[in-house]
Each structure stands twice: as structure tokens, then as C-alpha cells.
Structure 1
Amino acid sequence: MPWECGLKRVHPVRKSDLPSKTCPVCTRPFSWRRKWSRNWDEVRYCSEKCRRSRKANGA
């Protein structure tokens, strides 16, 4: 077993424990993703589709 030979056992993080935000375009909540780890504070939209539609609407 891995914990007996000195290795740490890694437990997955529950999605409910991750930070979340609300998308201003579709008003749906979205959760933190690993690819957003460096710039989570700057992430505003849940998807490319919402980001593009925001620009297309001129808002």
C-alpha cells in the first residue's frame, strides 16, 4: 500500500470545495478549473461562446 512505503495518499478535491463565479452573459455558475489556476481573478466568462457573444453584443 502506498502510505506504508512513505508516499502520501492524494485525495481528489470535491467540486463543491472549489471556488466558483457567475458568468455575466448566461448567469450560470462555473467552477475553478486547473487551466485557470494562474489567472482565476481575471476569468469572467464560463466559456469561449459567452466571451464571444459578449463582444458581439457590444457590452
Structure 2
Amino acid sequence: MFRDLIPALADHYGVIAPDHLGFELSDAPAADGFGYTFEPLTDLTAALSEQLGVTRYSI
């Protein structure tokens, strides 16, 4: 979806394009074991940002 946008932005910004759980090619935990709602996906994004040392970002 963003294959043309990412290279254009990467010339000026650091770009991270995670494949979140259950989307595209990532593993998809069973729905009864993971809440596929905005809050858990937000928590995953925050944890990834923290792990990568990213302190400022735009989504």
C-alpha cells in the first residue's frame, strides 16, 4: 500500500513500516487470545518504538 510513499519519505525521514499482528504476512494469534482492537495494537506500536529508541514519530 505504501510502496511508493516509503522511498519518497526515506530521503528525508527515518521510516519504519511494521507489519502488525494479523495484517499482511505477520502471524495472527487466535482472536480469543489477542484483542484485535485499537488499544492492543497501540500498545504494540508503543513497545516497538520504545525498543527501537524512537522518541518522536508521526503515524
TM-score w.r.t. length of structure 2 = 0.27
Larger relative strand fraction: 1
Q: Larger RCO: Structure 1 or Structure 2 (Cα < 8 Å, ≥ 6 residues apart)?
A: 1
